[in-house]
Structure 1
Amino acid sequence: MSTFRLAHLSDPHLSPPVLPFRWRDLASKRLLSRFAWRRKRHRHSPEVLATIAADVRDSAPDHIVITGDLTNFATPEEFDAAAAWLRDLGDPATITVSPGNHDALVSHATPDRFAPWRPWLGDDPEAGFPRLRVRGPVAILNLCSAVPTAPHLARGTLGADQLARLAALLRETKAEGLYRVLLLHHPVAAGAVSRRKSLTDAAELRRVLAEAGAELVLHGHAHEPLLHRVQGPGGAIPVLGVPSASTPHGQHDPAARWHAIEITRKTGVFRTRIVARGVGPDRRIEPLGAYALTA
């Protein structure tokens, strides 16, 4: 019996570097987001994020997954800064990033297909989404729900092509006996977030999961610890979200945490255990509990 350890964190919202002035940003969603950042930046602490990242590194997981919103305005400078942060976190072969809505804030001046992050999106730098990575007994299926939206909206969309490829990959990896983990930024369960923040084709994704199945779905976006279940062909599929990895204790949102996901196969059956770790009032990491996921 062996255990594969997956670390899940999300929504780090890295503090933006000094950004150059661009006239076109005055007529885009970036301007509104800069005003919002001024009001809310205290909710995201570089020191808290550094503490979470150090704890993740010290735990030496087999793989790290990050479900989006590394940036705030999706500028080229932020993408480069996030790439530097990712390189400090670990080898790109051991880290997978699923982009979030803030990483696709506007359609202009955003790196094409998240180009600076290609080493962290999947093993094939030219592949589209979903991207498949197989690590030990685990198939990591990296979806992208990040699309530009109108002001005051934070919705995500997968699209029919991505959903069709996902269905085929789920069937293939099931036939190979792998533990299938889906990554995306937006929640999948109905009602997990408000309509203006929702995944527009969540119902279609749930239909794919009901037919093809999966063992676990991981997301961010809500800035809350969430555990939902959606229907699979043989029972319920756990859907797990984590708060922002940079939120200090005592803010409006739940304090930063990350999840160690222990996947064990014994006599052909997979078992999943979650160990939650988060930042306390003194900015030290505290154990928050552990539990087993069951269908």
Structure 2
Amino acid sequence: MDDRTLKLFHLSDIHFGLEDRRALAWVEECIAREKPDAVAITGDLTMRARHGEFDAACAWIRALDVPVTVEIGNHDIPYFNLFERFFQPYRRFHAIEDLIEAELDLPRLAIIPLKTTTRAQWQRFPWSNGWVTQGALDETLAAIDAQPAGTRILVAAHHPLTERRERDNKLLTINGTKTMAALAGRGIDAILSGHIHDPFDMTVTTSGGPLRMIGAGTLSHRLRSTPPSFNEIVIEGDEIRVNARNLEDVATTDMLIKEVPENALPPRAPGDPVAPVGAVPAIDPPVS
């Protein structure tokens, strides 16, 4: 039985088109030097799902010389070509097709995908927030149930699963509460996500038991309240340690937000969660 320590790099929201080249060069160097056991990228590879953005994103990911799994983010589904959005939403991923929602099988650890993006949402517009369909949840639960006994499980998704914003009950991820309870009931170790551009590491109470939720920040110029970062996740025995590594050498405790916000825009209203480092841009970052 292989009980060695595992190191994962959890990246998210690279947003080619508004990527931070300095941050990406730093991440490339970290991966080349440290050779993590795997890299999990939890969506939003591009800014507007344009062909040039996908070409750059796929080339960058393909050059990483480690096992990689990639989730689909809401920014990765075509915005302007509605035919592709509804009938060929993943066509532009062709260069890394084998990495999309790939289940990574590591020593006594499985990283299993959960789809939270949809082509359309009749409940709301725009279609940027999360939605876990019953089919997507069933696929993830089946993959969890197929793992050998004793396998540790990390689930990878794009959107955090928080269903409602606490202060005003605004809908965030459709079916998030049910999904959290189902995953907690399966005893997974954590769910990895992105979408909001600030890192977090929190454990929530569900009807199925406690669920650990780990979020990665961004490697783009679209900052919310923390500098560009990625998560280093170390699994050693029964312990999972998260280090929010960043370009400014800010301590992880100062990087983590305590509550899942509505979106990746900088906090402007009272009650919006802000990381202790408080690196909030003076103006809202560009979106295209």
* TM-score greater than 0.5 by the shorter chain: yes
Name the CA distance, whole Å, in 1 between partners of 2:76 and 2:170: 17
Name the CA distance, whole Å, in 1 between partners of 2:49 and 2:169: 23
Q: Secondary structure at the match of 1:58?
A: helix
Q: Secondary structure at the match of 2:210?
A: strand
Match of residue 149 from structure 2: 176
Structure number with higher relative contact order (C-alpha < 8 Å, ≥ 6 residues apart): 1
Larger CA deviation: 147-156 vs 253-262: 147-156
Which of the residues 68, 80, 100 maps onto 1:121?
100
Name the CA distance, whole Å, in 2 between partners of 1:192 and 1:224: 16
Determine if contact 1:247/1:255 at 8 Å carries over to the other structure. Answer: no
**TM-fit CA distance, 1:191:** 4.4
One-letter code of the match for 1:68? G
Match of residue 200 from structure 1: 174
Q: Does 1:109 align with 2:80?
A: no
Measured against aligned partners, the alpha-carbon deviations of 1:243-281 in whole angstroms (never above 9, x if no partner) come to 112248xx554111111111122xxxx22112221012x
Determine if contact 1:247/1:254 at 8 Å carries over to the other structure. Answer: no
1:197–1:225 distance in 2 versus 1, CA, 3 Å: farther
For residues 203-282 of structure 1, the aligned pairs below 5 Å read 203-231=177-205, 235-247=209-221, 252-265=224-237, 270-280=238-248
Name the CA distance, whole Å, in 1 between partners of 2:174 and 2:208: 25
**TM-fit CA distance, 1:105:** 4.2
Q: Does 1:84 align with 2:63?
A: no
Determine if contact 1:10/1:220 at 8 Å carries over to the other structure. Answer: yes
1:246–1:59 distance in 2 versus 1, CA, 3 Å: farther
Identical residues among aligned pairs (%): 26
More helix by share: 1
Name the CA distance, whole Å, in 2 between partners of 1:196 and 1:49: 34
Q: Secondary structure at the match of 1:109?
A: helix
1:109–1:172 distance in 2 versus 1, CA, 3 Å: closer
**TM-fit CA distance, 1:48:** 2.3
Name the CA distance, whole Å, in 2 between partners of 1:232 and 1:196: 19
Larger CA deviation: 154-163 vs 72-81: 72-81
Gaps of 5+ in 2: 254-288
**TM-fit CA distance, 1:222:** 0.8
Q: Secondary structure at the match of 1:180?
A: strand
Determine if contact 2:58/2:96 at 8 Å carries over to the other structure. Answer: yes
Q: How many residues align?
A: 242
One-letter code of the match for 1:79? F
More strand by share: 1
Q: CA RMSD in A?
A: 2.9
Determine if contact 1:243/1:257 at 8 Å carries over to the other structure. Answer: yes
Q: Does 1:187 align with 2:132?
A: no
Match of residue 160 from structure 1: 134
Match of residue 12 from structure 1: 14
Name the CA distance, whole Å, in 2 between partners of 1:196 and 1:241: 20
**TM-fit CA distance, 1:178:** 0.8
Name the CA distance, whole Å, in 1 between partners of 2:116 and 2:94: 16
Name the CA distance, whole Å, in 1 between partners of 2:224 and 2:51: 29
1:197–1:146 distance in 2 versus 1, CA, 3 Å: farther
**TM-fit CA distance, 1:195:** 7.8
Q: Does 1:145 align with 2:116?
A: yes
Match of residue 251 from structure 2: 288
**TM-score normalised by the chain length of structure 1:** 0.72
Determine if contact 1:74/1:105 at 8 Å carries over to the other structure. Answer: yes
For residues 48-63 of structure 1, the aligned pairs below 5 Å read 48-63=23-38
Name the CA distance, whole Å, in 2 between partners of 1:195 and 1:6: 34
**TM-fit CA distance, 1:188:** 1.3
**TM-score normalised by the chain length of structure 2:** 0.73
**TM-fit CA distance, 1:190:** 4.1
Q: Secondary structure at the match of 2:103?
A: strand
Measured against aligned partners, the alpha-carbon deviations of 1:18-39 in whole angstroms (never above 9, x if no partner) come to xxxxxxxxxxxxxxxxxxxxxx
